[in-house]
């Protein structure tokens, strides 16, 4: 039978641990509500952290928000594509340095790929999983975006991001204004971008932001239709 002192110690330890968890959650929830992602998203912080894709986007957005140059962020923005349907852009960062179109990937393990391949490969626990080339995917996003904005393709940067569990084992890119970064490289990347010359003015940033903002407000039914269309597309391929 446990002694009274030991029982008190166990209970006190549990209270302290749960108290620390509660404080951490409260702090992160508060930060989430203040963030651009939290203000645009209609989901609670609890739903975000329990959704791998959304959690990855939010963590990426936290680093993007550390940029000292003027910028505005858009998340899960739906725009028309060449077939007349809608395509979703994970993150768009409209800034004085240009427009960063961000494709956020939540794969883990070793990542292999190059610009020209149709698919890239994730190797995890001895198994290989293939996914559509994110460089080609983001290139298509930028072309669709340019058709809407018509501001010149030189204003765009393609940024592919992977979460901290990914290891970019063999990834080759050569095109200018194309970047493939893992989570722990993003902070340095954003710092380096501060040295780039300004190519957009405050008024242009505001105008572009306002024109694209409605694309972030698609209702749940519209989002579900988009998901189902993507599933059908992958089955055909």
H or E stretch including 18?
Answer: helix 4-34
Cα(164)–Cα(150) distance, rounded to whole angstroms?
35
What b/e string do you get for 107-127 counting C-beta neighbours within 10 Å, with b at 16 or more?
bbbebbbeeeeeebbbbeeee
Judged by DSSP in three states, 235 sits in helix
**Mean per-residue pLDDT pooled into runs of 10, the chain (237 residues):** 70 83 90 93 91 93 96 95 88 98 94 95 92 96 96 96 92 94 95 96 97 84 50 45
Structural contact between residues 40 and 91, judged by C-beta atoms closer than 8 angstroms: no
Sign of the Cα torsion 89, 94, 143, 215 reads: positive
Nearest Cα residue to 137 out of 118, 165, 153, 124: 118
Give the model's pLDDT for residue 1.
55
pLDDT tens by residue, 15-33? 888 888 888 989 999 999 9
pTM of the model as a whole: 0.86
Residue 16 exposed, middle or buried by CB count within 10 Å (0-12, 13-18, 19+): exposed
How does DSSP assign 48-72, residue by residue?
HHTSHHHHHHHHHHHHHTT--S-EE
Domain residue spans of the chain: 35-236
Give the model's pLDDT for residue 237.
46
The fold for domain 35-236 equals: Trna Endonuclease; Chain: A, domain 1 (3.40.1350)
Give the model's pLDDT for residue 28.
93
């Amino acid at each position: 039978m446990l002694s009274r002192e030991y029982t008190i110690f166990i209970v006190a330890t549990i209270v302290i641990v749960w108290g620390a968890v509660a404080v951490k959650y409260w702090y992160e929830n508060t930060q989430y509500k203040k963030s651009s992602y939290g203000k645009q998203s209609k989901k609670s912080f609890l739903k975000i952290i329990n959704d791998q894709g959304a959690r990855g986007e939010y963590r990426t957005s936290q680093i993007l928000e550390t940029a000292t140059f003027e910028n505005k962020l858009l998340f899960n923005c739906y725009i028309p594509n060449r077939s007349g349907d809608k395509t979703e852009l994970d993150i768009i960062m409209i800034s004085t340095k240009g427009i960063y179109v961000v494709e956020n990937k939540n794969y883990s393990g070793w990542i292999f790929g190059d610009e020209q391949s149709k698919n890239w490969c994730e190797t995890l626990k001895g198994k290989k999983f293939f996914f559509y080339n994110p460089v080609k995917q983001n290139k298509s996003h930028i072309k669709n975006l340019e058709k809407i904005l018509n501001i010149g393709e030189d204003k765009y940067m393609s940024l592919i991001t992977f979460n901290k569990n990914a290891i970019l084992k063999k990834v080759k890119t050569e095109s200018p204004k194309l970047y493939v970064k893992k989570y722990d490289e993003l902070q340095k990347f954003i710092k380096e971008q501060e040295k780039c010359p300004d190519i957009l003015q405050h008024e242009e940033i505001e105008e572009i932001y306002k024109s694209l903002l409605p694309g972030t407000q698609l209702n749940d039914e519209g989002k579900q239709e988009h998901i189902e269309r993507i599933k059908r597309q992958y089955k055909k391929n």
